[in-house]
Amino acid sequence: MKIAEVRPILVGNPWKNWVFVKVHTDEGIEGLGEASPDNLAQAVEGALRDIGPMCVGTDPREPSELWERLHKALYLTTDGSALHALAGIEIACLDILGKSLNKPLHELLGGARRTKIRAYANGWYQGPRKPEFFAQRAKQVVALGYSALKLDPFGAAYGDLSPEEEALSLSIVAAVREAVGDEVHVLVEAHDRFNVHTAIRVAERLAEYEPTWLETPVNSEDLRALGEVAQRSPVPIAAGERLRTVTQFRDMLETTRVRYAQPEPLNLGGILMALRVAKLVEQHGALMAPHSAQSPVATVICTHLDACCDRAFVQETFDDFHVDWARNLFDPYPRIVDGYLEVPNGPGIGISLNEEAAAAHPYSHENILPLFEVGWEQRTGRR
Report yes or no: 308 and 112 within 8 Å, Cβ to Cβ. yes
Q: What is the pLDDT of residue 380?
A: 85
Domains of the chain, residue spans: 3-102, 107-369
DSSP 242: T
How many Cα atoms within 13 Å fall on the side-chain side of residue 5? 8
Give 79-124 pLDDT, tens digit per residue: 789 999 999 999 999 999 999 999 999 999 999 999 999 999 999 9
Residues assigned a catalytic role:
191, 291
Beta bridge partners of 317: 121
- Mean local confidence (pLDDT), 25-41: 97
Domain 107-369 indexed as CATH 3.20.20.120: yes
pLDDT at 219 over 90: yes
Query: pLDDT > 70: what percent of the chain?
Result: 100
Q: Report the Cα–Cα distance between both ends of the chain, in Å, rounded.
A: 46
Band (220; pLDDT cuts 50, 70, 90): very high
DSSP 160: B
Query: 109-146 burial, b if ≥16 CB within 10 A, otherwise e?
Result: beebeeebbbbbbbbbbeeebebebbbebbeebbeeeb
The contacts found for 302-305 with CB under 8 angstroms, 24 or more apart, are 302/265, 303/117, 303/334, 303/341, 303/342, 303/343, 303/344, 304/104, 304/105, 304/106, 304/109, 304/271, 304/343, 304/344, 304/349, 304/350, 305/109, 305/265, 305/271, 305/274, 305/275, 305/278
Per-residue 3-state assignment (H helix, E strand, C coil) for 25-92: ECCCCEEEEECCCCCCHHHHHHHHHHHHHHHCCCCCCCHHHHHHHHHHHHCCCCCHHHHHHHHHHHHH
Distance CA 90, CA 34 (A): 9
Q: What is the pLDDT of residue 383?
A: 60
Give 140-167 pLDDT, tens digit per residue: 999 999 999 999 999 999 999 999 999 9
Give 255-296 pLDDT, tens digit per residue: 998 999 999 999 999 999 999 999 999 999 999 999 999 999
pLDDT at 382 over 80: no
DSSP 1: -
Q: What is the pTM of this model?
A: 0.96
3-102 against 107-369: fold identical? no
Give 224-254 pLDDT, tens digit per residue: 999 999 999 999 999 999 999 999 999 999 9
Give 360-379 pLDDT, tens digit per residue: 999 999 999 999 999 999 88
Backbone φ and ψ for 145, nearest 5 degrees, come out as 110, -5
Distance CA 283, CA 298 (A): 25
Give 316-349 pLDDT, tens digit per residue: 999 999 999 999 999 999 999 999 999 999 999 9
Mean per-residue pLDDT of the chain: 96
pLDDT at 184 over 90: yes
- Mean local confidence (pLDDT), 167-172: 98
Q: What is the pLDDT of residue 76?
A: 81
Sorted by sequence, the CB contacts under 8 Å of residue 184 that are 6+ apart come out as 142, 146, 147, 148, 149
Q: What is the pLDDT of residue 118?
A: 98
Sorted by sequence, the CB contacts under 8 Å of residue 383 that are 6+ apart come out as 366
Fold of 3-102: Enolase-like; domain 1 (3.30.390)
Per-residue 3-state assignment (H helix, E strand, C coil) for 338-368: CCEEECCCCCECCCEECHHHHHCCCCCCCCC
How many Cα atoms within 13 Å fall on the side-chain side of residue 274? 37
- A 10 A CB-CB count for 333 gives 16
